């Protein structure tokens, strides 16, 4: 069975309960107490220690009454792509697809090389414990028993990649992920991906009938990352939510790269052979 | 935590307002991509790994042409760099066993995995071939020579060539806009830069060798070929990349690239070569000072090239627009 999230942004009220529940369950450290001053969004971005992030999109529109604005909230999360850039890039095999068809980082195998970070076209994966902003991270606060059973995604050592595990530990015990459990409006729905997709299509249809410009992001699209196991219902352009409109799987550029490198190497060998020549003996 | 000040919404953002259109903007100008934590140790690895692979290529060329001094130098340098490179990587990863984690699996789709295996394979061959050389030089007993595989040096040359290029593929197979844009240019330029650095390094090592003059002249010529190709690739990449290339070719970083990589690393050594050609001195051994200066400048330029690539890639991650529309 493939499990995943359907995040319906039209139901999100921006309460950030998902962020808090995720931090609590996964024992993720604080990101510091800072105000961005730009909106109600002080989390700003997903990171190695923030696996749910509520975006506050400000819509400014001119209507006959004058300038009006409203917020669109969206709880962002790792997309658990069908063809995941991070998983392909990982040189240790630490990033795997688990039995729930989720993309999971095994923290005890991860060697902290950081190659998955630029390989994610969604900017989800990040390092834990190696960047300066995480210096205050205190591993002693982690639950000792869970850490020893390797069940906390953040291990008691610095410098590994971190992202949403889709609450692998909870799923194994038959619970739904912490964020979906905590969401008070069922904006975050967890379940079988096919079932969620059917539900999402139905919901988008209903909203369209009501005159809302609703579209599904990450379902049945023509992208090299494939369908997303965690997909979204949006009412605005994806860029407005900081989602790439046309994500490209980075490894699709490898044939071009290897080809160009091989061509250059052949030219160099040819020059070398011409210059050095063959031994007379 | 210092956050950048949010720029005021441009007027165009409201152009469609009233027509039911939503302003076409990004998310508060926040970057889409996460910044990598690769520091000067990774840059050093890219540089040394290139010089290592290039030395392997030179070892194969020297073997074929029967050039004794270059055979010796390139084999010793290959081994020395094959020891230094994993050490630099381990220092970046933090603990030695973390390098070993890369050897629990081989992944064709991951250039880093392929590179780790190439590095290990190259190291083993470099050790055998350098061992054979040490034995011929009378340092090690004669039986060591028998460990040299028949095609060992050629294989070392091929693995070396892979090592010079895979780092470029590794960079371009990411979502970083600048690197993605350079999917042809960066791997090819990495190969050229690596060969040029290896030529410079080997030439520097040969200055003390009484019989190294011929090899030095040939190395200078090969270096000139590599440098000219690298220069062409860089110039073409600049026009090809357009706005995506800003972090690499504009501002202080672009200035640094022009001064060091292009000026000092490519043009100055080419000019030094040209002087010797014009003075009809090119059949003779280059003056020691010229060899030292040219070699050092080429190496500096090679390092700055790698540094610019990595740092510009980091800066490129901060532009959400470039990251959004890179498929076009």
Q: Which of B46, B227, B282, B272 is nearest to A271 (CA)?
A: B227
pTM for this prediction: 0.90
DSSP category for residue B84: H
3-state SS, residue A95: strand
Are the beta carbons of B62 and A276 closer than 8 angstroms? yes
Beta carbons within 8 Å of B71's beta carbon, 6+ residues apart: B59, B62, B63, B133
Beta carbons within 8 Å of A236's beta carbon, 6+ residues apart: A57, A59, A72, A213, B22
Whether A275 and B9 lie within 8 Å, measured CB to CB: no
Whether B324 and A273 lie within 8 Å, measured CB to CB: no
A241 contacts in B (CB within 8 Å)? Answer: 27
Distance between CA atoms of residues B227 and B189, nearest Å: 9
B94 has a pLDDT exceeding 70: yes
Are the beta carbons of B54 and B194 closer than 8 angstroms? yes
Q: Which of B172, B159, B169, B204 is nearest to B60 (CA)?
A: B159
Torsion of CA A141, A142, A148, A152, to 10 degrees: -170
Query: Which pLDDT score is estimated for A145?
Result: 58
Torsion of CA B69, B70, B76, B80, to 10 degrees: 140
Query: Which pLDDT score is estimated for A158?
Result: 47
Query: Which pLDDT score is estimated for A66?
Result: 62
- Which two tokens mark A35? 């105000």
Split chain A (281 residues) into runs of 10 and give each run's mean pLDDT. Answer: 95 96 88 81 90 88 65 94 97 96 90 94 85 42 54 53 93 96 97 97 96 93 95 93 94 97 98 90 63
**Residue with tokens 């007379």, as numbered in its chain:** A280
From B215, which residue of chain A is nearest by alpha-carbon distance?
A276
Kindly state the average pLDDT of the residues B312-327: 89
Q: Which residues partner with A3 through β-bridges? A: A192
Beta carbons within 8 Å of B150's beta carbon, 6+ residues apart: none
Is B119 part of the contact surface with chain A (CB cutoff 8 Å)?
Answer: no
φ, ψ (nearest 5 deg) of residue A58: -95, 120
Query: Which pLDDT score is estimated for A144?
Result: 57
- What is the distance in angstroms between the CA of the first residue and the CA of the last residue of chain A? 67
A31-66: b (≥16 Cβ within 10 Å) or e: beeeebebeebbbbbbbbbbbbbbbbbbeebeeeee
φ, ψ (nearest 5 deg) of residue A87: -65, -40
- Which two tokens mark B30? 């926040």
B233 contacts in A (CB within 8 Å)? Answer: 264
- For residue B150, the tally of other CB atoms under 10 A from its CB is 7
Is A273 part of the contact surface with chain B (CB cutoff 8 Å)?
Answer: yes
B115 has a pLDDT exceeding 70: yes
Are the beta carbons of B46 and B306 closer than 8 angstroms? yes
Query: Which pLDDT score is estimated for A206?
Result: 97
- How does the average pLDDT of chain B come out, rounded? 89
From A94, which residue of chain B is nearest by alpha-carbon distance?
B101
B19 has a pLDDT exceeding 80: no
Which tens digit of pLDDT belongs to each residue from B147-188? 887 789 999 999 999 999 999 999 999 999 999 999 999 999
Which tens digit of pLDDT belongs to each residue from B23-62? 457 888 899 999 888 989 999 999 999 999 999 999 999 9
Which tens digit of pLDDT belongs to each residue from A39-80? 889 999 999 889 999 999 887 766 666 666 778 899 999 999
Q: Indicate the pLDDT class of residue B130, thresholds 50, 70 and 90.
A: very high
From A46, which residue of chain B is nearest by alpha-carbon distance?
B34
């Amino acid at each position: 069975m493939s499990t995943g999230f359907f995040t319906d942004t039209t139901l999100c009220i921006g309460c950030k309960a998902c962020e808090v529940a995720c931090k609590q369950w996964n024992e993720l450290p604080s990101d510091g107490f800072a105000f961005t001053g730009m909106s109600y969004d002080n989390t700003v971005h997903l990171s190695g220690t923030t696996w749910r992030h509520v975006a506050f999109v400000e819509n400014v529109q001119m209507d006959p009454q004058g300038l009006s604005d409203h917020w669109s909230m969206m709880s962002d999360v790792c997309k658990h792509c069908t063809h995941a850039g991070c998983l392909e890039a990982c040189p240790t095999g630490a990033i795997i697809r688990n039995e729930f068809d989720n993309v999971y980082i095994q923290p005890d195998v991860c060697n902290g090389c950081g190659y998955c970070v630029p390989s994610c076209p969604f900017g989800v994966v990040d390092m834990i414990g190696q960047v300066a902003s995480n210096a205050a991270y205190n591993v002693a606060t982690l639950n000792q028993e869970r850490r020893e059973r390797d069940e906390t995604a953040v291990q008691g050592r610095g410098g590994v990649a971190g992202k949403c595990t889709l609450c692998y530990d909870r799923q194994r015990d038959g619970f739904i992920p912490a964020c979906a459990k905590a969401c008070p409006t069922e904006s975050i729905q967890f379940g079988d991906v096919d079932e969620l997709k059917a539900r999402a299509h139905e919901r988008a249809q209903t909203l369209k009938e009501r005159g809302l410009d609703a579209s599904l992001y990450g379902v049945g699209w023509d992208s090299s990352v494939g369908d997303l196991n965690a997909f979204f219902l949006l009412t605005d352009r994806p860029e407005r939510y900081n989602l790439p409109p046309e994500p490209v799987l980075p490894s699709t550029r490898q044939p071009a790269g290897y080809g160009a490198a091989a061509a250059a190497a052949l030219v160099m060998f040819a020059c070398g052979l011409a210059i050095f020549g063959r031994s007379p003996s | 935590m210092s956050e950048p000040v949010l720029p005021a919404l441009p007027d165009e953002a409201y152009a469609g307002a009233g027509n039911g259109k939503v302003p076409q903007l990004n998310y508060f100008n926040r970057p889409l991509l996460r910044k990598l934590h690769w520091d000067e140790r990774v840059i050093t690895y890219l540089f040394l790994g290139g010089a290592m692979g290039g030395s392997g290529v030179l070892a194969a060329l020297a073997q074929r042409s029967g050039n004794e001094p270059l055979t010796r130098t390139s084999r010793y340098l290959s081994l020395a760099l094959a020891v230094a490179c994993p050490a630099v990587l381990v220092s970046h990863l933090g603990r030695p066993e973390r390098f070993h984690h890369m050897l629990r699996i081989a992944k064709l789709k991951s250039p880093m995995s392929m590179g780790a295996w190439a590095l290990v394979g190259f190291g083993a061959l470099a050790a055998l071939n350098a061992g054979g050389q040490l034995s011929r030089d009378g340092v090690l007993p004669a039986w060591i020579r028998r460990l040299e595989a028949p095609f060992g040096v050629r294989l070392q040359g091929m693995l070396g060539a892979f090592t010079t290029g895979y780092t470029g593929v590794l960079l371009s197979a990411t979502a970083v806009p600048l690197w993605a844009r350079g999917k042809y240019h960066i791997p090819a330029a990495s190969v050229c830069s690596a060969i040029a650095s290896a030529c410079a390094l080997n030439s520097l090592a040969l200055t003390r060798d009484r019989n190294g003059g011929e090899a030095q002249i040939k190395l200078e010529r090969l270096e000139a070929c590599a440098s000219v190709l690298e220069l062409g690739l860089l110039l073409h990449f600049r026009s090809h990349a357009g706005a995506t290339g800003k972090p690499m070719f504009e501002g202080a970083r672009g200035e640094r690239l022009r001064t060091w990589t292009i000026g000092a690393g490519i043009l100055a050594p080419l000019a030094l070569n040209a002087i010797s050609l014009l003075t009809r001195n090119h059949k003779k051994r280059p003056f020691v000072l010229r060899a030292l200066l040219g070699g050092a400048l080429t190496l500096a330029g090679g390092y700055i090239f790698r540094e610019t690539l990595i740092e510009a890639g980091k800066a490129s991650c901060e532009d959400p627009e470039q990251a959004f529309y890179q498929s076009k």
